[in-house]
Amino acid sequence: MQAQDHSAVNGYLMIADISGYSAYLATTELEHSPEVLGELLELIVQHLQPPLHLSKLEGDAVFVHAPEDTFFRGETLLELIENTYAAFRDRIRAIERNMCDCEACRKSPALDLKFVVHHGEYRLL
């Protein structure tokens, strides 16, 4: 087994978190809710990588990272976030339009997406 390099990197850490996830799961049946959430998480990952690298999926959150030279302009990262959010809202609207009568489909518009971004030194463990 090869040892991992845990040296410090300058760059970006981002968490994209689905808001309302816990309440959504608590108030919907399990028939469609895992499917809806899985679809939304997959969409987020597809929009963020590349250029970001997937580090981990944790429940309702996607954790990604990238070295500093990935984005030459801060606006590029903001555009990536904006495009990911727009795609998320579009998918929610599509679920709403094509929904069945189950609670998971009816309550999907209550889900939202938030981002937390850190720029600076970090270590991947």
Give the domain CATH number at 98.
3.30.70.1230
Cα–Cα dist 68/121, whole Å: 9
Residue 68 lies in a domain: yes
With respect to residue 107, please indicate whether it lies within any of the assigned structural domains: yes
pLDDT value of residue 90: 94
pLDDT digits (tens, 9 = 90+) for 52-63: 999 999 889 999
Ranges assigned E (strand) in 25-70: 53-58, 61-67
Return the H-helix or E-strand segment holding 19.
strand 9-19
Q: Which residue has the tokens 């009568």?
A: 101
**Which structural domain range is residue 105 located in?**
9-119
Using 50, 70 and 90 to split pLDDT, how confident is the model at 4?
Answer: low
Query: Per the domain annotation, does 125 fall within a domain?
Result: no
- pLDDT, residue 5, reads 61
CA geometry: angle 49, 75, 92, nearest 5 deg? 55
SS3 119: strand
Q: Name residue, tokens 């978190």.
A: 17
| pTM attached to this predicted model | 0.85
